[in-house]
């Protein structure tokens, strides 16, 4: 197992001082060390992977240094555009070190969406002309790999990637977080919401723990509850899936259960929903201020006003609540807005252990969902 702090010290020794990316469970211990207060480096948790590449390009243009961008391999899709149209050697030729969490790597049992992404990852990097190598979990070998990669990056002035298997990094203790025990759990908030919905309502649940908590509620005692679509992949796209359904089914209430990290990843979706003025859509953001599914690393969602943002882009009614009593009073459960509702619920960090994962084949889940929705 690779000692996390030793790995970072090797990067610092090689001149890497700028780190940006989107949290990933495979890299969570690496990110925990990065996110600790330290004057030796700059670290930014980006809204999405393409944004992280943009930050890295900006850093290089301002310093001539080599930045590091970390991401889960599923996030390569968000990063393709800036990596090819800005950083590629045929365009601006920007040296960037990529640390890619390799979910679904060969020989690793994983969920279906990760399996497909894992198999495609090497070919995708090859198609982008990005050389890659699997990072060793032996410190001496990893140090040699880093030194060699940084030399190549500087001479070729183009990106280079390390693929990182789960379990590569040694564990790092999470930072002490502020006490939010007076807030409701996300699971309790989800249960309250689902219990208020009717059987013909439609729920679109965002990636990660939200989908798993919806699935658990449905499995345990509510099989006849609202029809649910679990957005197991494509982080940040649940709200647009919900909007597409709501536009086509104007007589049915559609509730999107979104996360704060997912909302931030593609925040432009707020403006599209606001502009469509879809009265049967309720957009709920469960804001725990962190990327809960991949290590609990912070987002900026508690530091900005999501309600004002929703109002600014056209949601007729937008509310924020910090308790279950306020949630009960939300008017969207009784009536539709003239252009939909936005509801931010501030919830506690963390989740219950042993939540079920959606099992495949997902085509069967799609068929069950559509049999309830398509007339």
How much is the pLDDT for 41?
A: 96
Q: Quick one: tokens of 306?
A: 């999501």
Q: Quick one: tokens of 283?
A: 């957009």
Alpha-carbon distance of 345 to 323, in angstroms, equals 8
Triad 213, 358, 291: Cα angle to 5°: 50
Look at the domain 4-164 and name its fold.
Rossmann fold (3.40.50)
Candidates 144, 136, 68, 54; CA nearest to 99 is 68
Please tell me whether residue 97 adopts helix, strand or coil conformation. strand
Please tell me whether residue 42 adopts helix, strand or coil conformation. strand
The answer to whether 29 and 169 have CB atoms below 8 angstroms apart is yes
* Eight-class DSSP state of 111: -
H/E segment holding residue 373: helix 362-373
How much is the pLDDT for 333?
A: 84
How much is the pLDDT for 336?
A: 61
Alpha-carbon distance of 73 to 103, in angstroms, equals 7
Q: Quick one: tokens of 235?
A: 């982080």
Look at the domain 186-373 and name its fold.
Rossmann fold (3.40.50)
* Eight-class DSSP state of 219: H
Q: Quick one: tokens of 123?
A: 């070919």
How much is the pLDDT for 334?
A: 79
H/E segment holding residue 260: helix 260-265
Alpha-carbon distance of 178 to 286, in angstroms, equals 18
The answer to whether 59 and 18 have CB atoms below 8 angstroms apart is yes
Query: pLDDT of the chain along its 375 residues, tens only?
Result: 899 999 999 999 999 999 999 999 999 999 999 988 778 999 999 999 999 999 999 999 999 999 999 999 999 999 999 999 999 999 999 999 999 999 999 888 887 788 888 999 999 999 999 999 999 999 999 999 999 999 999 999 999 999 999 999 999 876 655 678 899 999 999 999 999 999 999 999 999 999 999 999 988 877 777 899 999 989 999 999 999 999 999 999 999 999 999 999 999 999 999 999 999 999 999 999 999 999 899 999 999 999 999 999 999 899 999 999 999 988 888 766 667 899 999 999 999 988 988 877 889 999 999 999 998
Candidates 93, 15, 14, 80; CA nearest to 52 is 80
pTM of the entire structure?
Answer: 0.92
**Cis-peptide into 5, omega within 30 deg:** no
How much is the pLDDT for 331?
A: 86
Domain residue extents for the chain: 4-164, 186-373
Burial 224-254 (b: 16+ CB within 10 A, else e): ebbbbbbbbbbbbbbbbbbbebbeebeebbb
Q: Give just the sign of the alpha carbon dihedral 353, 354, 358, 361.
A: positive
The terminus-to-terminus CA distance of the chain in angstroms comes to 54
Q: Do domains 4-164 and 186-373 have the same CATH topology?
A: yes
How much is the pLDDT for 335?
A: 67
How much is the pLDDT for 316?
A: 87
Alpha-carbon distance of 362 to 17, in angstroms, equals 42
C-alpha distances (whole Å) from 249 to each of 34, 275, 278, 279 are: 46, 17, 10, 11
Question: Edge-to-edge strand order for the sheet containing 254-259?
Answer: 227-230, 202-205, 254-259, 281-287, 341-346, 317-321
Please tell me whether residue 247 adopts helix, strand or coil conformation. helix
How much is the pLDDT for 172?
A: 84
C-alpha distances (whole Å) from 140 to each of 33, 186, 265 are: 20, 43, 36
Burial 126-135 (b: 16+ CB within 10 A, else e): eebebebebb
Alpha-carbon distance of 347 to 349, in angstroms, equals 7
């Amino acid at each position: 197992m690779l000692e996390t702090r030793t790995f970072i010290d090797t990067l610092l020794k090689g001149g890497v001082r700028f780190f940006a990316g989107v949290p990933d469970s495979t890299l969570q211990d690496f990110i925990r060390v990065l996110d600790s207060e330290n004057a030796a480096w700059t670290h930014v948790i980006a809204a999405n992977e393409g944004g992280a590449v943009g930050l890295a390009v900006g850093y290089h243009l301002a310093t001539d240094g080599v930045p590091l961008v970390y991401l889960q391999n599923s996030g390569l899709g968000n990063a393709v555009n800036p990596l090819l149209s800005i950083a590629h050697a045929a365009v601006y030729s920007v040296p960037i070190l990529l640390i890619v969490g390799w979910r679904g790597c060969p020989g690793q049992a994983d969920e279906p969406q990760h399996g497909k992404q894992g198999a495609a990852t090497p070919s995708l990097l090859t198609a982008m002309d990005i050389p890659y190598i699997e990072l060793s979990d032996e410190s001496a070998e990893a140090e040699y790999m880093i030194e060699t990669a940084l030399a190549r990056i500087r001479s070729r002035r183009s990106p280079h990637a390390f693929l990182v298997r789960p379990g590569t990094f040694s564990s790092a203790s999470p930072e002490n977080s502020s006490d939010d025990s007076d807030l409701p759990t996300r699971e309790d908030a989800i249960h309250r919401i689902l219990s208020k919905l009717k059987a013909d309502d439609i729920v679109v649940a965002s990636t990660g723990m939200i989908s798993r908590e919806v699935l658990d509620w449905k499995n345990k005692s509510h099989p006849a509850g609202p029809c649910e679509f679990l957005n197991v992949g494509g982080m940040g796209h649940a709200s647009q899936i919900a909007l597409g359904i709501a536009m086509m089914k104007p007589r049915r209430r559609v509730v999107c259960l979104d996360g704060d990290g997912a909302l931030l990843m593609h925040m432009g979706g707020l403006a599209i929903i606001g502009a469509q003025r879809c009265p049967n859509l309720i957009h709920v953001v469960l804001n725990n201020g962190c990327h809960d599914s991949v290590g609990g690393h912070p987002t900026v969602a508690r530091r900005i006003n999501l309600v004002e943002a929703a109002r600014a882009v056209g949601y007729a009614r937008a509310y924020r609540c910090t308790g279950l009593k306020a949630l009960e009073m939300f008017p969207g459960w009784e009536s539709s807005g003239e252009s939909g509702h936005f509801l931010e619920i501030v919830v506690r960090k963390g989740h219950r252990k042993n939540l079920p994962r959606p099992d495949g084949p997902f085509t069967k889940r799609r068929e069950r969902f559509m049999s309830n929705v398509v007339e």
